[in-house]
Amino acid sequence: MSLFANTTVLLGKELRTEFRSRELLTTTIVFILIVLVLFSFTFDPLSDEARRFGAGLLWLAFLFAASLMLQPCFLREQTNDTLSALRLSVSDPFAIFLAKLAANTLFLLLTELLLLPIFAVMYNVRVLPVLHWIALVFFLGSLGVSIAGTALSAISAQARMRELLLPLLLLPLLTPILIASTEVTSALLDRSPYVQWKGVGFLVAFDVVFLTALWLFGEYLLEE
Amino acid sequence: MKNLGSVFAAYLVGWAVFFAFYLTVARRTALLREELDRLKQSMKKGS
Amino acid sequence: MWKRGFVGAAVLSLVAASAYASFFIAPTERTMGLIQRIFYFHAASAWAGMTAFSVCFVANLLYVWRRQPKWDSLGVSAAEVGLAFITIVLITGPIWAKPVWGIYWTWDARLTSTFVLWLLYISYLLLRTLIEEPDRRALLSALFGIFAFLDVPLVFGAIRWWRTQHPAPVIMGGPGSGLEPTMRAVFFFSVFALHALMAFLIVERYGLEKLRVELEIVRREAEAV
């Protein structure tokens, strides 16, 4: 079976598993909400500051949520050693990663888009006119987070203190995503919104670099 | 001559870091070498 | 054994000479005065640190490819030495900043990027302490090391592009750019001296690591007997 076919099958499995219980999605959404509310206590949410800092806080919340949400990614494959089964079922282990990172990107994107209206209301920003652009930056940013997060999740699943380890490894690595995504989002939420193409290009570059790295080295992450 | 203290402090701290690093490595190396020799001796005696 | 001592003394003299040059040969800078002399140590340490991390990166790649323990030993040695140099950059930066701008931390682009770099390699070392099995530890930390190193240009790029908008003071002018010839010579001599120190420290640390690995093997043999 081709890489595409393998990935599609595995992706279907990932999605089915999650949508059966939806526990990952619901807990992630609630977590981001909590973080947003907590952030609002640290400054005046209706001031001009909120408008300027809003995008950054939003992405910080996404990053924190992702570093928690990505934990079960490979951990759950350790019970009953389903990882070995997965490895046997595909010819190219990259399919496993592709499927997982596609699923993670989808989950992240879903939670982000669901929270967008709430964020817009809480922080008093207009999102409707630039909705498609926001969706684009959400996608590119979440893709980057998922690629790095899926890879690192495979690493932390094999170490001790994994709950603390994944955020520890992931968050410094994602600094470029945080900066670029915040910049692009902030430009879109500005009083006179515009698309920061430099940022979009940078996000694409990040995604390409890490996807390539994952393609080159992914199989070693899954070694016995 | 203003800030002479700061410049000295910077260089001293820097060298202190390197010395500390080197000394810890040297000490651990000596300790390990000792233990390695000890183990090798005891194995020679044992067999 | 004595060769090591000789090399060590030679490296020490080089470093001492570069410090002498920084204080007595380099001319005093016009605007900042004496405090600017920290630059020779601060910037040269940054370069040496980056070289060490590059060595770590190559060692990581070689380990993933060859799976020989010596590459893992080289990787961790280079990472630790690199971290020592970067720590010095992060300490001398604020010591420089305080007299000149009145504050210890200026969120200067380079210093901030360096801080993230420091965090990445601390994570590398922390990861190693959390995996017990040696082969697994070597492989997983090598893979993380590779990802971390690939991230470094992206970190520096992003911070430089978007976080230097504010009129933040620049801790150092571009190395070698706009430097008066004597200053440039002193700077490159410092770079050379600190690289020599870096190489010496990596070799020492590598020796320790090899001993540790050998000790493990002998211990296991002793237990088998």
Q: In the prediction, which pLDDT does C108 show?
A: 82
Instruction: Identify the top-confidence range among A95-104, C55-64, C89-98, C159-168.
Output: C55-64
Give phi and psi for C29, each to the nearest 5.
-75, 150
More confident residue, C1 or C9: C9
- Provide the pLDDT confidence category of residue C169 given band limits of 50, 70 and 90: low
- Which structure tokens are listed for A219? 């199989």
Specify the pTM. Answer: 0.91
Farthest-apart Cα atoms in chain A, separation? 56
By percentage, how much of chain A surpasses pLDDT 90? 56
Q: Which one-letter amino acid corresponds to residue A39?
A: F
Q: Which of A169, A213, A220 is opposite residue C123, by nearest beta carbon?
A: A169
> Do B10 and C96 touch, CB atoms closer than 8 A?
yes
pLDDT tens, residue by residue, A145-160: 999 999 999 999 999 8
- Provide the pLDDT confidence category of residue B18 given band limits of 50, 70 and 90: very high
Summarize the confidence of residues A214-223 as an average pLDDT. 93
pLDDT tens, residue by residue, C84-111: 999 999 999 999 888 888 888 888 888 8
Summarize the confidence of residues C148-174 as an average pLDDT. 77
pLDDT tens, residue by residue, C207-216: 999 999 999 8
> Do C31 and C209 touch, CB atoms closer than 8 A?
no
> Do A31 and A65 touch, CB atoms closer than 8 A?
yes
Q: Which of B14, B28, B42 is opposite residue C88, by nearest beta carbon?
A: B14
pLDDT tens, residue by residue, A39-49: 888 877 677 77
Q: In the prediction, which pLDDT does C176 show?
A: 44
CA atoms within 13 A on the CB side of C189: 19
C5: Cβ contacts below 8 Å, ≥ 6 apart: none
Instruction: Identify the top-confidence range among C29-38, C165-174, C200-209.
Output: C200-209
Q: Give the span between the Cα atoms of A213 and A147, in whole angstroms.
A: 10
Q: Which residues pair with C29 in a beta bridge?
A: C33
Inspect the interface and report whether the beta carbons of C87 and B43 lie closer than 8 Å. no
Q: Which of A161, A179, A221 is opposite residue C163, by nearest beta carbon?
A: A179
pLDDT tens, residue by residue, C52-90: 999 999 999 999 999 999 999 999 999 999 999 999 999
From chain A, pick out residues whose CB is under 8 angstroms from the CB of C155. Answer: 175-176
Query: What residue segments make up the domains of chain A, in order of their start?
Result: 3-221
Contact C130/B at CB under 8 A = no
Q: What is the ipTM of this complex?
A: 0.92
- Chains A and C touch, using 3 or more CB pairs below 8 Å: yes
From chain A, pick out residues whose CB is under 8 angstroms from the CB of C130. Answer: 159-161, 165
Q: Which of C81, C95, C225 is opposite residue B6, by nearest beta carbon?
A: C95
- Provide the pLDDT confidence category of residue C11 given band limits of 50, 70 and 90: very high
The CA distance from A151 to the nearest CA of chain C, in Å, is 9
Instruction: Identify the top-confidence range among A88-92, A186-190, C36-40, C138-142.
Output: C138-142
From chain A, pick out residues whose CB is under 8 angstroms from the CB of C123. Answer: 168-169, 172
Contact B40/C at CB under 8 A = yes
From chain C, pick out residues whose CB is under 8 angstroms from the CB of B25. Answer: 201, 204-205, 208
From chain C, pick out residues whose CB is under 8 angstroms from the CB of A172. Answer: 116, 119-120, 123
Nearest chain B residue to C200 by CA: give it. Answer: B22
Inspect the interface and report whether the beta carbons of C130 and A152 lie closer than 8 Å. no
Contact B2/C at CB under 8 A = yes
Chains that touch A (3 or more CB pairs under 8 A): C
Query: What residue segments make up the domains of chain B, in order of their start?
Result: 13-47
pLDDT at C217 over 90: no
Q: In the prediction, which pLDDT does C1 show?
A: 65
Inspect the interface and report whether the beta carbons of B43 and C37 lie closer than 8 Å. no
- Provide the pLDDT confidence category of residue C166 given band limits of 50, 70 and 90: low
In chain A, the N- to C-terminal Cα span, in Å, equals: 23
Q: Give the span between the Cα atoms of C206 and C142, in whole angstroms.
A: 16
Residue C30 three-state SS: coil
Q: In the prediction, which pLDDT does A131 show?
A: 93
